[in-house]
Amino acid sequence: MMSRTNLLLTGLIMCGPGIAAEEVRPGVFRTPDERFENLQDYPFEPHYVDVDSKLGKLRVHYVDVGPRDADPILLMHGEPSWSYLYRNMIPPLVAAGHRVIAPDLIGFGRSDKPAKRTDHSYPNHVDWMTQFVTMLDLQDVTLFCQDWGSLIGLRLVTGAPDRFARIVAGNAALPAGPGKDGVLIGTEWNQPDPNARLKFEEGFMPWVKYSQTAPELDCGLILQLATIKELTQAEADAYRAPFPDERYMSGPRVMPTLVRSQMATNRQAWKVLARFDKPFLTTFSDSDPITKGGEKVFQKRVPGAKGQPHTIIRNASHFLQEDASEQLAMIINDLIAVNHHGVQPSDPGGSQRRNKMPAATDLSSHGVTQADLDGLDAIMLDAIKKGTITGCSYLVAHKGEVVYRKAHGEFTTDERVPLASVSKPFAASVIMALAEQGKLDLEDPVEKYLPEFKGIRVKGSEKPARPMTIRHVLSHMAGFWGNKGISREKIGLIRDFSQTLEESVKGAARYELIHEPGTKWTYSGIGYCVAGRVAEAALGDQSFEKVSRDALFRPMGMNDTTFAPTPEHPFILVGGSLRSTLDDMAVFGQMHLCDGEYNGKQYLSQASVTDQRRLQIPEERSKAPGLGWHRGFPDEDGLADLLFISGATGPRFQVDRRRQTVTVFLVRTSLQKVVPLFTDLNLHVEKIFSVANDR
């Protein structure tokens, strides 16, 4: 890490005069390619298109990664940054199956740089990016925009709203206040001021003045001053890379003065936004003096903003892509998943029966005090204060009553949250219910229901593999490949939500297995898709959503638990795209705790629940799998007394027979960030609830 002082000194050395300029035509500069070699965490191949201008053709650089047939995410940067700003957001967006496009505005990054300030008008930049989007023929776009990326990006939306499926606006604006258009140039700003200092915390106008009077604009230093995290020297240098000297700087110099130069046109654009009813989500940060509070106008005026899970990013400054890259990527992925699945507030009329565990009225009967439970508050609030998360919820049930149910930060106790891999015990339980109804048998070969698997082979073998069974696919023993280090085509089998589950599974059947079914455990997303497709076929090609609802969710009153496919995006990731709430999950966990019974009714047989607790692989191991669950603390019969599972989006679900507890932790962030948090919560629960004497 480098201090801000060292960043400034290094910037003055690196950005000094005397660099040989690359002038591709009179008045147009192009940063030499060697300036972009070996940049930290920026391995992306360059792509280029030429757009028309009064100066002739101008080259626009852009990052373009991910499946070309996937709906695109368009990441629009502000100034004085470039697409390097998105280097940490791009990988998790691509990993979720999306195509990600991050252009450099003209005058920035690897794009061409007109030398005259007058070439950089607001309308010109809108026109250049409009040409860019048109030339790539981008459709069903998810736009993320920040800073000037929003001033330009939102104009792209209002110019062609049908191209855009949803918008995420972070520290964004579309200035359209009263008054005439104007370029912000103070009469006292005509000469460089050697004493100019940027005091970012003082707001917008001091920044404009600094941009006009500072003898040199050190983009590495500017990014650091507008970011809470400490940039490394290599990161700061990457922000300096596009600008060898002042001849390349007309874009960063002039853009701050143009913010209010299109007020009248923007007022017309706002009329279009006032009719934009597709999802519009705000993700502003809590420590940006430039845009703080600006989210309110979007939430009030854009119809598509209503009912969205708007977020204030904690401990983040103006360039929140640096301070909260992982969280932003998760928010974008989640918004797309929700929109693709068509999730709506369930049962708006309130007619469907809901089961909800009763709240404890006497804590002493559970052997705990309020002070004991207050410790859970302290753990979560500390994580929010440290910036680990922006909010979460947690529920603890003991002996059939809820003793703790709270949310903190940017979260509520009623939110329906993506469960990722926590979907698996629910899906496995649905299959168990179908087996009890005689619709299928866990020992049935998959090919009985899905003939495309007949004769499938193990890689390197000439003979067909032994038939995989339904039990094999539920226990990750079917011979399928894992979820990491696989081809783009295999990723698409579990990430393309425009396909059907049938199409996904038929696609999987075209590939060879990596080992004989029943011989080796490999955690695989496609296996649960096969199990779900078997269930569909066994019930006459009903969707797995309907199968799940009819077999288990509706009878148990779990009406907020859904995969919710739509005609446009019918795919169900059986082991990964379920959504649920604290209360529904608590009911489901209590049913498993009580051997299939809940509230006086048997939903699964004791034999089925016992089977899910039993080891499904040849030997015990860490996270030894049952059916849907991971297992811990096997009893003398080898049955797990602890069932647990976590998901990539952060949830943790646990059923502890030793303590007679069910715990549910819900959050929206990456699993890696919250493992210490939910571990501390569960350890606290273990501390205050002793192991039952009869265990």
Question: pLDDT digits over 8-17, tens only?
Answer: 434 433 444 4
Q: Supply the pLDDT for residue 551.
A: 94
pLDDT band at residue 354 under the 50/70/90 scheme? low
137-149 tens-digit pLDDT: 999 999 999 999 9
CA distance 242 to 244: 6
434-485 tens-digit pLDDT: 999 999 999 999 999 999 999 999 999 888 889 999 999 999 999 999 887 8
Per-residue pLDDT, averaged over 201-210, amounts to 81
Q: Supply the pLDDT for residue 618.
A: 67
Per-residue pLDDT, averaged over 294-298, amounts to 95
CA distance 621 to 472: 17
Q: Which amino acid type is present at position 39?
A: L
Percent of the chain with pLDDT over 90: 69
CA distance 196 to 207: 10
DSSP structure string for 539-583: TTS--HHHHHIIIIITTTT-TT-B----SSS----TTT--EE-HH
**Domain 27-181+257-339 falls in which CATH fold?**
Rossmann fold (3.40.50)
Contacts 24+ apart (CB under 8 A), 33-40: 33/110, 35/241, 35/242, 35/244, 36/110, 36/241, 39/84, 39/234, 39/238, 39/241, 40/232, 40/234, 40/235, 40/238
Q: Supply the pLDDT for residue 63.
A: 97
pLDDT band at residue 67 under the 50/70/90 scheme? confident
Q: What are the sequence ranges of the domains in the chain?
A: 27-181+257-339
The answer to whether 83 and 102 are in contact (CB under 8 A) is yes
Q: Supply the pLDDT for residue 186.
A: 55
CA distance 166 to 140: 8
pLDDT band at residue 201 under the 50/70/90 scheme? low
The answer to whether 653 and 585 are in contact (CB under 8 A) is yes
| CA–CA distances in Å: residue 544 to residues 354, 429, 531, 533 | 21, 13, 10, 7
> Which ranges in 304-369 belong to alpha helices (H)?
320-323, 325-341
Decide if pLDDT at 584 tops 50: yes
Structure tokens at 33: 């390619």
Decide if pLDDT at 634 tops 50: yes
Least confident interval from 421-435, 530-544, 553-567: 553-567
CA distance 402 to 405: 7
Per-residue pLDDT, averaged over 307-332, amounts to 90
Decide if pLDDT at 331 tops 50: yes
What does the mean pLDDT of the chain come to? 88
Q: Among residues 435, 485, 361, which one has the least CA distance to residue 612?
A: 435
Decide if pLDDT at 238 tops 80: yes
Phi/psi at 516 (5° precision): -65, 135
pLDDT band at residue 300 under the 50/70/90 scheme? very high
Using the Cα atoms of residue 495, residue 496, residue 502 and residue 507 in order, give the sign of their dihedral. Answer: negative
Q: Supply the pLDDT for residue 188.
A: 56
Q: Supply the pLDDT for residue 527.
A: 95
Which positions are catalytic?
147, 288, 318
Decide if pLDDT at 4 tops 90: no
Q: Supply the pLDDT for residue 468.
A: 95
The answer to whether 557 and 403 are in contact (CB under 8 A) is no
Q: Supply the pLDDT for residue 309.
A: 84
CA distance 77 to 219: 14
Residue showing tokens 């955690």 = 523
The answer to whether 63 and 100 are in contact (CB under 8 A) is yes
| CA–CA distances in Å: residue 143 to residues 67, 72, 146, 236 | 17, 9, 10, 26
Is 433 exposed, middle or buried, given 0-12, 13-18 or 19+ CB atoms closer than 10 A? buried
Per-residue pLDDT, averaged over 317-343, amounts to 80
CA distance 411 to 409: 6
Beta strands in 202-350 (DSSP E): 280-285, 311-313
Helices (H) and strands (E) in the chain, counts: 22, 21
Decide if pLDDT at 388 tops 70: yes
Q: Among residues 449, 452, 454, 481, which one has the least CA distance to residue 466?
A: 454
DSSP structure string for 395-417: EEEETTEEEEEEEEES--TT--E
Q: Supply the pLDDT for residue 5.
A: 41
Q: Supply the pLDDT for residue 184.
A: 64
Beta strands in 241-348 (DSSP E): 280-285, 311-313
Per-residue pLDDT, averaged over 121-127, amounts to 96
Q: Is 102 helix (H, G, I), strand (E, B) or coil?
A: strand
Q: Supply the pLDDT for residue 2.
A: 44
Decide if pLDDT at 263 tops 80: yes
Percent of the chain with pLDDT over 70: 90
Q: Among residues 598, 597, 569, 470, which one has the least CA distance to residue 527?
A: 470
Per-residue pLDDT, averaged over 261-271, amounts to 93
CA distance 439 to 342: 29
Q: Supply the pLDDT for residue 177.
A: 78
Using the Cα atoms of residue 599, residue 604, residue 605 and residue 607 in order, give the sign of their dihedral. Answer: negative
pLDDT band at residue 18 under the 50/70/90 scheme? very low
Decide if pLDDT at 541 tops 50: yes
Is 474 exposed, middle or buried, given 0-12, 13-18 or 19+ CB atoms closer than 10 A? buried
Q: Supply the pLDDT for residue 670.
A: 85
165-184 tens-digit pLDDT: 999 999 999 999 776 666 66
The answer to whether 478 and 575 are in contact (CB under 8 A) is no
User: Which residues are 601's β-sheet partners?
Assistant: 598
Q: Supply the pLDDT for residue 692.
A: 65
Highest mean pLDDT among 190-194, 252-256, 387-391, 615-619: 252-256
CA distance 146 to 79: 9
CA distance 72 to 64: 9
Q: Which amino acid type is present at position 115?
A: A
Higher per-residue pLDDT: 205 or 64 = 64
Higher per-residue pLDDT: 207 or 347 = 207
Q: Among residues 226, 386, 224, which one has the least CA distance to residue 317?
A: 226
Q: Among residues 572, 492, 558, which one has the least CA distance to residue 528?
A: 572
Q: Among residues 203, 149, 95, which one has the least CA distance to residue 320?
A: 149
Residue showing tokens 């009719």 = 275
CA distance 655 to 662: 5
